Amino acid sequence: MISPIDGGVTAPRGFRAAGVACGIKASGAPDLALIVSAAPASAAAVFTTNLAVAAPVIVSREHLDANQGRVRAIVTNSGCANACTGDAGLRVAQLMTAEVARALGCEAEEVLVASTGVIGVALDPRKVSDGIITAVEALTASGGADAARAIMTTDPFPKSFAVRVETKRGTFHVGGMAKGSGMIEPMLATMLGYVTCDAAIAPGLLRRALVDACDVTFNAITVDGECSTNDCVFALANGASGVEIEDDEYELLVEALRAVCLELALGIVRGGEGATKLVAVHVTGARTYDEAKLAARAIANSLLVKTAIHGADPNWGRLIAVAGRCGADFHLAGARVIIGDIVLFEQGRPFDERAPQAAEYLTRDRLEITVDLGVGGPEDATIWTCDLSAEYVRINADYRT
């Protein structure tokens, strides 16, 4: 059985966290987070597929290769992406892991690093070094909320969640936190995700479960169709609960990871820059899952669809047009569009007399849109997105200035 609990990344046993201000953000808001496991933890990660990759992603990849999936800590700064900063940026990312390792008495390769913020800006090594010292001193078993605030950039609210999982072998816990509001379309948005677990899980099994969980959560959201230079999702499992997860409990592990990741992923979309509505785009009737997901993502990323949703305009023609051009197999004669539970187009026939009812439904802040591709296939997929407002334009037009 899986049930929600409080605590975020520090809900699982054996984890401490902190969030502090080290002066990267001019506002003085918290901008450095640290998560530490009391014992070396199995580790796994999924990284951005963007080829313009940030320095901390390079360092974290190298450390995971070097440490055979055993990690003590993850350090993160916000307010500066440390991306496109050359060798100097790489040295700062390495310095961050070395400073944490020195404080904890472990190897630098046992520390992972992440950054988020403006691309192309140098990260001040003195500020992050001082911040790490402060964060180590501030570590507590109740510090998950502080860490979740410290990783925010344009996020309107912190995102954290945790669950208790009861199994025949005992009880373990999964916690998580995430940041992201704009530049969101993970392709494994600027997005960072962290998952902690107090079960004992082999690194290979943990990575397989993380990939499976991300596929229908972090990799099934979009705010603006933009893949960041810094996207990472990390998972740590330290075994502090005494429960060991093996192949026979794999599905339960994935379900638990998925429960945490989905709550965090939906929080990212709800907090999307300028967003006023959370939208689930369901595509049905596809020949393959990949085609269903392709069509759902295309609809979710359509500027015309997203602006129509913002204006509560039940323009089913925009949905049909995207489905027809997305590259998935599509038959217009069998296609169907449903907004909420209101059928607006089916088997070549529009039902525009239902438009006022659909328009009323679209004024809600949580919506469901379904498009059937009309080919009679068995597969379906869901992508979560948000509306596109003038506020999104304002935020991003002024982001650097």
User: Looking at the predicted structure, is the pLDDT value of residue 111 above 50?
Assistant: yes
One domain, residues 260 and 332: no
CATH number of the domain at 297, please. 3.10.20.340
Under 8 Å CB-to-CB from 262, ≥6 apart: which residues?
A: 216, 217
The H-or-E segment that residue 379 falls in is strand 379-386
Q: Give pLDDT, residue 63.
A: 97
Which of 220, 241, 270 is where one domain is finished?
Answer: 270
- Confidence bin at 401 (pLDDT 50/70/90): low
Structural domain span for residue 49: 2-270
> Which band of pLDDT confidence, cut at 50, 70 and 90, is reported for residue 184?
low
User: What is the bridge-based pairing of β-strands 192-197 and 232-237?
Assistant: parallel
Residues 177 and 42 in one domain: yes
**Interval 13-61: pLDDT, tens:** 999 999 999 999 999 999 999 999 999 999 999 998 888 899 999 999 9
What pLDDT score was predicted for residue 226? 66
Q: Are residues 64 and 154 both part of a single domain?
A: yes
Give mean pLDDT, residues 185-203.
81
- Which of the given ranges, 147-156, 187-196, 365-374, has the highest pLDDT on average? 365-374
- Considering the domain architecture, whether residues 255 and 358 belong to the same structural domain is answered as no
Helix (H, G, I), strand (E, B) or coil at 225: coil
Mean pLDDT of 263-274: 88
Whether 203 has a pLDDT exceeding 60, the answer reads yes
Q: What is the DSSP letter of 48?
A: -
Q: What is the dihedral of CA 75, 76, 80, 82, to 10 degrees?
A: 50
* Percent of the chain scoring above 90 in pLDDT: 84
CA distance 269 to 276: 10
Query: 254 and 310, same structural domain?
Result: no
If one counts the domains in the chain, the total is: 2
Residues 291 and 365 in one domain: yes
Domain boundary among 239, 270, 301: 270
pTM of the model: 0.90
Q: What is the CATH number of the domain that holds 116?
A: 3.60.70.12
252 and 282 both lie in a single domain: no
From 270, 290, 318, the end of a domain falls on 270
Calculate mean pLDDT across residues 289-315: 96
pLDDT of residue 392: 84
* pLDDT of 245 strictly over 50: yes
310/225 same-domain check: no
Q: Which residues are catalytic?
A: 190
Q: Is pLDDT of 210 > 60? A: yes
DSSP codes, 148-197: HHHT-SS-SS-EEEEEEEEETTEEEEEEEEEE-SSS--------EEEEEE
Q: Average pLDDT for residues 329-351, to the nearest whole number?
A: 97
pLDDT surpasses 70 at 251: yes
Do residue 295 and residue 266 come from a single domain? no
- Tell whether the model's pLDDT for residue 212 goes beyond 90: yes
- pLDDT at 188 exceeding the cut of 50: no
- How many other CB atoms are found less than 10 A from the CB of residue 41? 31
For the chain, give the mean pLDDT.
93
Backbone angles phi, psi at 41, to 5 degrees: -115, 150
Amino acid at 284: T
Res 352: pLDDT: 94
Instruction: Please give the Cα distance from 97 to 118 (Å, whole number).
Output: 21
Least confident of 3-12, 33-42, 136-145, 181-190: 181-190
Domain shared by 61 and 43, yes or no: yes
For residues 181 and 324, membership in a common domain is answered with no
Total residue count of the chain as it appears in this document: 401
- Of 151, 154, 183, the C-alpha closest to 33 is 151
Confidence of residue 189 (pLDDT cuts 50, 70, 90): very low
Q: Is 228 helix (H, G, I), strand (E, B) or coil?
A: coil
My answer on whether 24 and 112 are in the same domain is yes
pLDDT recorded at residue 185: 57
Q: How far apart are CA 182 and CA 93, in angstroms?
A: 23
